Amino acid sequence: MGKRDELIAKYAEDLKSKCGMDADMDLLTKVTIGCGPAIYDADASTVAASQEGELETVKNNFLIKKLGLSDGPELMEGINKVLETYGMSERNKYRAVVYYMLTKQFGKESVYG
C-alpha cells in the first residue's frame, strides 16, 4: 500500500468516525488525487478553519475555480456547514475530506467523473 492509499484510508476513517458518513471511495480517491502534493505536506494537508483567509482560499480556489460554482453567500454557508459536520473542535481537518464533503454537498461529483 502506497503513501497515498494510506492517506485515502485515513480520510475514509475520518469521514466515518468524525462525520458519520460512509465514503464513496472512488470519489474520495479522485478528490485526494486532485489535491495534488498538498496531501503530503503537514500544513497544506489540513484546512485552518479558524482563519478567514484560509476559508476564502477554499471558496475561491476549490468551489469557484475547481467546481465551477458562482460566488455567493451560499458558498461560505456550505463551507461552514461542512466544518461543523467535521467538528469545530477537531484540530486536524484534512483538506481532502473537506473538499470531498463540499463536492457532495454541492452535488458536483460529475466534476470528478
Instruction: For residue range 16-64, list pLDDT tens digits in order.
Output: 999 999 999 999 999 999 999 999 999 999 999 999 999 999 999 999 9
Q: Residue range 66-84: average pLDDT?
A: 97
pLDDT at position 1: 79
Q: Residue range 2-8: average pLDDT?
A: 97
Model confidence over 77-113: pLDDT tens digits? 999 999 999 998 888 999 999 999 999 999 999 999 8
pLDDT at position 103: 98
Q: Is 18 exposed, middle or buried (0-12, 13-18, 19+ CB in 10 A)?
A: middle
**Predicted model pTM:** 0.96
pLDDT at position 19: 96
pLDDT at position 91: 87
Which grid cell is 33?
A: 488525487
The size of the chain, in residues, is 113
Q: What is the residue type of 85? A: T
- Tell me the C-alpha distance between 62 and 52, whole Å: 15
DSSP secondary structure letters along 47-77: --TT-HHHHHHIIIIIIIIIT-PPPSHHHHH
Binned at pLDDT 50, 70 and 90, residue 76 comes out as: very high
pLDDT at position 50: 92
Q: What is the residue type of 24? A: D
Q: What is the residue type of 17? A: S
